[in-house]
Amino acid sequence: MKVLRADRSLLGVFAMSRIGKKPVAVPAGVKVEIRDREVTVKGPAGELKLRLHEKMAVEFDSAGSLIRVSRPDDRRDSRALHGLTRSLIQNMVTGVVKPFEKRLEIVGVGYNASLSAGQLVLQVGYANKVSLKVPQGVTCEVPDATHVVVKSADRHAVGQFAADVRAVRPPEPFKGKGVRYQGEYVRRKSGKAFGSK
């Protein structure tokens, strides 16, 4: 009996196509404006804007509080853009109500973090401290010396700044020292074993 196997890349495209067809529900307290191929979403946690791709069309049904995204044809790139645009708008609507957040933890003796004049200052084993400017629209909190919380209505901005912080000193595999995402599993390696002669 012959078993057919679907191509994973095609499955991804069709999945994005199905996602694109779902309308985005807009909760109470969120305002949506579409003008000059730009979508603006305002909410209690901030304001976000998205410049639309020339192939994508977006309409807002104020009566039903729904945002619908449509595509011009069923070409592969159009289907991919359809799902991507819908996901970006969904993230905007979610973020202006409840900001996205990433939590990081710092592991290592003497390793710590602090905030100073809009900059995150990291002491992670280098000769000098490393300072990272907190981007506009992003909130950075240091509840204690070994934990950092990054928040923003913009999901991409949160992920990017958290990745920048982690990249200053990624966790090393022998002792696990460095900056990691909270709950991140770090694969450990055993040190070199020296046999006795």
pLDDT digits (tens, 9 = 90+) for 12-47: 444 445 788 899 999 999 999 999 999 999 999 999
pTM of the model: 0.82
CA distances from 157 to 28, 67, 74, 162, 165 (A): 25, 23, 31, 8, 12
Domains of the chain are 9-95 (3.90.930.12), 100-181 (3.90.930.12)
Q: How many helices and strands in the chain, by DSSP H and E?
A: 3, 13
Mean pLDDT of 185-193: 77
CA dihedral (146, 148, 149, 155) in degrees, to 10, reads: -140
Mean pLDDT of 87-97: 96
47: enclosing H helix or E strand: strand 46-51
